[in-house]
Amino acid sequence: MELLKNNTREAVPREDRSSRTKERKLKSYKQLNRIARKGQILFTGSSLCEQFPILEQLQSYGLNITVYNRGIGGYVIKELRAAKETCIFDLEPRKIFINIGSNDIGEGRLEKNIIADYEELLLEIRQRLPETRIYVMAYYPANVKDDFHVSRECAAAVKNRTKGKIDVLNRMLMEMAYRTGCTYVDANSGLADKDGQMKKELCIDGIHMWPDAYINVMDNLLPYLAE
């Protein structure tokens, strides 16, 4: 029976499994939104947001604030725009921290197209939630030099996240944030090595991060959470 179960799972294309996972996560968030308190702090984006253990960290820091995480692994910017009612607007947050676009980089999209989609998202939020403070988070560094023994598919996605490309995009994010009346947040201090790569000990697969990395991120975010 177990062999049959595994074979059935393997027969399902990876793209279909990914799509179902996203749909289940979105359904879960829709249900949670019914009991969520409006006017709180929201983190939204892709897996680098979803995997941020911010609730546990807030307890450790003793901060008396309410934060909701609506990150969905695998999301690109267009998917977040399509899911914006659930992942953003239902919560009517007073602050939004956005970390989206890493998967667009992994797909090899042109920088100008990534920024164009991102800016459309920000303008949609600005129109619906004019009083909300929007924080655009810088893209985290990746590690393209070390071997993390990952699949070819993952390795190919990592290779597109070069330091040069991320640096260019972060400058473009900063300019975009200024144009749209948002705040650009670079929470990357302590994450990179001397070559500008994500420190190997902080990195799971070249992209995703261990909790120690998120502790650095949280330390850098505290002033923005408190203001």
Split at pLDDT 50, 70, 90, the class of 155 is: confident
- For 52-71, give one letter per residue: b (16+ CB within 10 A) or e: bebeebbeeeeeeeebbbbb
How many angstroms separate the Cα of 101 from the Cα of each of 20, 76, 134, 163, 223? Answer: 20, 6, 16, 15, 24
CB 134, CB 183: distance < 8 Å:
yes
**2-11, 16-25, 160-169, range with the lowest pLDDT:** 2-11
Q: How far apart are CA 224 and CA 227, in angstroms?
A: 5
- Structure-block tokens of residue 123: 């303008």
- Structure-block tokens of residue 136: 């655009």
Split at pLDDT 50, 70, 90, the class of 6 is: very low
User: pLDDT averaged over the chain?
Assistant: 91
Angle, CA of 133, 139 and 141, to the nearest 5°: 150
pLDDT tens-place string over residues 68-79: 999 999 999 999
Q: How far apart are CA 146 and CA 101, in angstroms?
A: 23
High-pLDDT (> 90) share of the chain, %: 78
High-pLDDT (> 70) share of the chain, %: 93
CB 70, CB 44: distance < 8 Å:
yes
Q: What is the pLDDT at residue 17?
A: 66
pLDDT tens-place string over residues 177-194: 999 999 999 999 999 999
pLDDT at 101 over 60: yes
pLDDT tens-place string over residues 28-56: 999 999 999 999 999 999 999 999 999 99
Q: How far apart are CA 139 and CA 96, in angstroms?
A: 16
Separation of CA 146 from chain center = 22
In sequence order, what are the residues at sequence separation of 6 or more whose Cβ sits closer than 8 angstroms to the Cβ of residue 105?
Answer: 114, 139, 160, 161, 165, 166, 169
CB 68, CB 42: distance < 8 Å:
yes
What is the arrangement of strands in the sheet containing 41-45, beginning at the earlier edge strand?
67-71, 41-45, 95-99, 133-137, 183-185
Report the sign of the C-alpha dihedral through residues 28, 29, 35, 36, in that order.
Answer: positive
pLDDT tens-place string over residues 103-149: 999 999 999 999 999 999 999 999 999 999 999 999 999 998 888 77
Q: The domain containing residue 144 runs over which residues?
A: 2-226
The total of structural domains in the chain comes to 1
- The CATH number that applies at residue 143 is 3.40.50.1110
